[in-house]
Amino acid sequence: MRKKSEPSFEFVIPISYGSTEVIETGKWGFQKPHTAFMTPPCQEACPAGINIPQFLYLSNEKRQDEALLTILRENPLPGVCGRVCFHPCEANCNRAQYDESVSIHEMERYVSDVREYEIQDIQPLSNKDSRKVAVVGAGPAGLSCAYFLSILGHQVTLLEAKKEPGGVMRWGIPEYRLPKSILRKEIQRILKLPIELRTGVRVGKDISFDELSQFEAIFLSPGAGLNAPLSIEGEDLKRVWRGGDFLEGINRKDKIKLGKETLVIGGGNTAMDVARSALRLGSTVTVAYRRTRNEMPAIKDEIDEAEEEGIRFEFLIQPVKVSLNKKKRLRITFQRMKLRGFDQTQRPKAIPMRGEFFTLETDHLITAVGEQVDLSWMPKELIKNNLLDAGSTSKIFAGGDAVDQPRTIVTAIASGKKAAISMDLYLRGEDPDVIFSKIRVGNKSSLSMETYLEGRDSGRWPEVNEVVSYQQINTLYFEPSRRVRLRKRHPQKVLKDFSEVNLGYNSEEAMLSASRCFFCGTCNNCYNCYYFCPEGAISFDPVQGTRVVDFIHCKGCGTCAKACPRNVVKMEALS
């Protein structure tokens, strides 16, 4: 380096070492920025109301424990939901309007799988007013309700008719979609809370319904465990299975042998599970559905995967009779159908085409045309339209597949949570409608347990945030990118056993996926406001992770509000 003996800096040019801070430019403004978080549409759409941007943010920061804890505040079964949820979050993701939605569903699974989380951070409240409560049925709704009731400090007795908890997750969904090890881990985590689980206790048989009255509040979630019949001739023949029984047999590890060909009747998730399981038992499988593919109630991914695995579909046909041919194979007579008009739920109606019949022969027939609730043990006043209905006056609450709601895992979990809050409010003598309006997540049906716990004892409820729309996102700051495609087991191996098909994300894929989140309506410390503030009036508190505005120098120019990609910073006129 050439060193100069030239005059010093100050000698050559004037320089001030004083500060311009004495000039209180903040007095010039007419408006001030303030931070107002908003609810992202994914969180609003999630029946469990999971704080999705927060868990993605934490995961992206490699803070996987906190990410999982974020989910566990609203949903005790992320490993299950990360596999079998119908993920309405992704359908409502703002990013879907930009390029492709964020892989929220797969990220939930990743966050759940990446950590063997010990539950010590989820502690029950110390509840002076702890009561004895009962939950009937340890499926997703019952487990969820028991979990949240226990967190709320109540003494929970969980009754399960079968010898193991889990309900449809244990006995319905096959291993290749939801490994039992995952389910077991999640249930174990729930049962670390002080919950008394009693299995093999069937209400109406092992204890009477009236005996439940010893509890101060009761949640009923018996599920829909009965297989709906086809109600046609020949349905009781050998080698005709009911879908639920078939799946339960497989999940019980019974030795089930199928012939060369299997025909499955139905278009829902059970039909898909049945068909794909039959395929794994070495049969060729055809699914017959009375409407078309568009009307199938099964999750779209499931239909696609079934098709990829080699299942054939026959649409617009309905079985009318089952008989045996001379070789003692099953012969099914079908009626051809057509779509005409709509039913009350606006689904196209399938009606028979007069005189159009044909027959198909098969080795096995498995029917999966819906599930029904076993109402035999219930008092008449709790039954409405063949479903469970607890009404709103008694100390009895209900949820899950037995009540009138969509039959999905996450809906069941949400109903368990809602019931837990309702029961807590009932035991405290408070009006649920008032509280529900304060703990809602967006404008759909989701409720936040986190908010409930925040306001429950203090009586101070945070403001309910508005939902942030795509139009409010400043997409200039995002670059288009594709979703990370999900890796699956090799298609030639996949049918050989019941091992899980989807392989989940590795850490690199997860980082990529989490970083695609727009973090709508929340601050992810992108520092845009900090960088763009012409006054240098914005700073970040590294300890709190919060943004601090120096109002003595903020001129209220609004640059930070414009530069916020997530619509968190808003300008407010000064009076």
Partner 1 sequence: MKEFMTGNEAVAQAVKLCRTPLIAAYPITPQTAIYEKLSDWEASGKLEGIMMRTESEHSAMASCIAASLTGVRTFTATSSQGLALMHEMLHFAAGCRAPVVMVNVNRLLAAPWGFWADQLDSLSQRDTGWIQFYCENGQEALDSVIQAYQIAEQVYLPVMVSMEAFFVSHFMETVYVPEQEQVDRFLPPIDLPHKFDIDKPGFLVPVVSSELYRKYKQMAQVSMDSVKEIAVRVDQEFKKEFGRGYGILEAMMLEDAEVVLVTAGSITSTARLAIKDLRKQGNKIGLLKLRLFRPFPREGVQQALRGKKKIAVIDRNISLGSGGIFCQELRAALVHSPDHPLTFSYIAGIGGTDVTPEVIQKIALDVIARSEPIDQPMWIMEE
Q: What residues from 17 to 76 belong to the interface with partner 1 (CB under 8 A)?
A: 17-20
In the complex with partner 1, which residue's Cβ is closer, 9 or 30? Answer: 9
* Cβ distance to partner 1 smaller for residue 14 or 542: 14
Q: Which of 170, 202, 196 is nearest to 77 (CA)?
A: 170
CA distance 491 to 501: 9
Distances (CA, A) of 174 to 88, 298, 400: 22, 15, 20
Judged by CB under 8 A, which stretch of 12-20, 218-226, 262-270, 274-282 contacts partner 1?
Answer: 12-20
Q: Which residue in 4, 238, 257, 490 binds partner 1 (CB under 8 A)?
A: 4
CA nearest 190: which of 110, 78, 315, 46?
78
| Site residue total, partner 1 (CB under 8 A) | 17
Site for partner 1 in 263-282 (CB under 8 A): none
How many C-beta atoms lie closer than 10 Å to residue 250's C-beta? 21
Measured from the CB atom, the residue of 1 and 543 that comes closer to partner 1 is 1
* Cβ at position 24, least distance to partner 1 in Å: 17
Q: Please give the Cα distance from 222 to 377 (Å, whole number).
A: 11
Provide the minimum distance between the beta carbon of 477 and partner 1 in the complex, in angstroms, as a whole number: 19
Instruction: Report the site for partner 1 in 308-327 (rule: CB under 8 A).
Output: none
CB atoms within 10 A of CB 429: 6
Q: Least Å distance between CB 11 and partner 1? A: 8
CA distance 513 to 192: 32
Angle value at C-alpha 397, between 394 and 403, nearest 5 degrees: 125
Which of 11/30 has CB closer to partner 1?
A: 11
Question: Least CB distance from residue 535 to partner 1, whole Å?
Answer: 15
Select from 14, 355, 480, 542 the one that contacts partner 1 (CB under 8 A).
14
Q: Which stretch binds partner 1 (CB under 8 A): 9-17, 317-325, 362-370, 449-457?
A: 9-17
Binding partner 1 by CB under 8 A: which of 13, 543, 573, 574?
13
By CB under 8 A, name the one of 16, 231, 386, 393 that touches partner 1: 16
Q: Between 16 and 376, whose beta carbon lies closer to partner 1?
A: 16
- Token pair in block for residue 511: 């980082």
Nearer to partner 1, 19 or 294 (CB): 19
Helix (H, G, I), strand (E, B) or coil at 227: strand
Span interacting with partner 1, options 1-9, 66-74, 135-143, 545-553, rule CB under 8 A: 1-9
**Distance, CA of 277 to CA of 146 (rounded, Å):** 31
- By CB under 8 A, tell whether 476 contacts partner 1: no
What are the Cα distances from residue 104, in Å, to 1, 78, 413, 485?
Answer: 55, 11, 18, 13
Q: Is 2 in the site for partner 1 (CB under 8 A)?
A: yes
Task: Specify whether the CB–CB gap between 439 and 459 falls below 8 A.
Answer: no
Smallest distance, partner 1 to C-beta of residue 184, A:
56
Give min distance, CB of 536 to partner 1, in A. Answer: 12
* Strand arrangement, sheet containing 348-362: 317-324, 330-342, 348-362
Minimum CB–partner distance for residue 16 and partner 1 (Å) = 4
Do residues 331 and 323 touch, judged by C-beta distance below 8 A? yes
Displacement of CA 305 from its chain's centroid (Å): 20
Q: Which is nearer to partner 1, 6 or 431 (CB)?
A: 6
Q: Which residues pair with 541 in a beta bridge?
A: 546
How far apart CA 411 and CA 23 sit, in angstroms, is 57
Six-digit token string for 441? 């997540």
DSSP, residue by residue, 76-120 = S-HHHHHHH---HHHHT-GGGGTSS---HHHHHHHHHHH----GG
Instruction: Give the shortest CB-19-to-partner 1 separation in angstroms.
Output: 8
Closer CB to partner 1, 10 or 118, in the complex: 10
Provide the residue type at 536 as one letter: G
CB of 557 to partner 1, least distance (A): 20
Of the candidate spans 14-22, 178-186, 261-269, 342-350, the one that interacts with partner 1 by CB under 8 A turns out to be: 14-22
Q: In whole angstroms, how close is the CB of 9 to partner 1 at the nearest point?
A: 4
Instruction: Between 24 and 118, name the residue whose CB sits nearer to partner 1.
Output: 24
Q: For residues 75 and 80, what is the distance between their CA atoms, to the nearest angstrom?
A: 10
Based on CB atoms, which residue is closest to partner 1, 5 or 376? Answer: 5
Residue ranges that bind partner 1, judged by CB under 8 A? 1-4, 6, 8-9, 11-20
